[in-house]
Amino acid sequence: MSRGGSGGRTRVKTARNRTAASTRWLERQLNDPYVRKARAEGYRSRAAYKLIELDERFGLLKGARRVIDLGIAPGGWTQVVRRQVPVATIVGIDLLPVDPIDGATILQLDFMDDTAPGLLQEALGGAADLILSDMAANTVGHPQTDHLRTMALVEAGVDFACDVLKPGGAFVAKVLAGGADNDLVATLKRNFQTVKHAKPPASRKDSSEWYVIAQGFKGRAAADPVEDDAD
């Protein structure tokens, strides 16, 4: 590695068995101020600052006593919740193994598994104040397919949120460029007082990710479809 250019930017020399792409990724990591800040402040990933910035704008963690973290790995968002709301009960789920976080219950399981919602509710022990979802489907390199796969996760997260949130609760989910589609936004607006999209500063400018923030859950009755009376 070498330092050069303005501002003491770190440049990475291509090493044996390291591809050009991995060299670029490493150089970006080494020069990313959020990566350095996360390392200095003990967060597992730079993604922690996305939640911190969203919370500063929307007040997500105020009064949050029961929190579910969908797609918890590696744990940065749950670390933020633990630090800002030490008394909160937190339950997280991910396909990937996650090192323990003091005060959090972590399930290693696919959220789309039929047993996942029940296990999450059981571990939480009551209605949720806040459901966070940083889930994204593994990309296949085809933008339309990647979007559909990720939106399927978001839609499942919305259905779960409508079952688990207490009235007044909030739901936050990662979506891709363009935000949530019209049908999903309509569903969220039917069930929440406010629905907004945001791209926190910690989200890289070249990333396609945005977040949808739905606050003020109206309650289970609003989530249930209205059925016509039989003749």
H-type alpha helices, 95-170 = 116-124, 143-164
The CA–CA distances, whole Å, from 156 to 8, 112, 114 equal 45, 8, 11
Q: Which residues are bridge partners to 2 per DSSP?
A: 11
How far is Cα 140 from Cα 144, in angstroms, rounded to an integer? 10
For residue 211, what is the enclosing H or E element?
strand 210-217
Report, in this order, helix, strand and coil percent for the chain, each rounded to 5: 40, 25, 40
Q: Is 71 annotated as a binding residue?
A: no
Q: Is 75 annotated as a binding residue?
A: yes
The CA–CA distances, whole Å, from 34 to 12, 40, 50, 184 equal 18, 10, 10, 31
Q: Is 159 annotated as a binding residue?
A: no
Angle at 86 between CA 82 and CA 91, to 5 degrees: 50
Considering the candidates 50, 62, 166, 174, report the single residue annotated as catalytic. 174
SS3 67: strand
Q: Is 179 annotated as a binding residue?
A: no
Task: Tell me, yes or no, if 174 is annotated catalytic.
Answer: yes
Q: Is 129 annotated as a binding residue?
A: no
Catalytic residues: 174
Annotated binding site for S-adenosyl-L-methionine: 75, 77, 94, 110, 134
**Where is the binding site, in residues?**
75, 77, 94, 110, 134
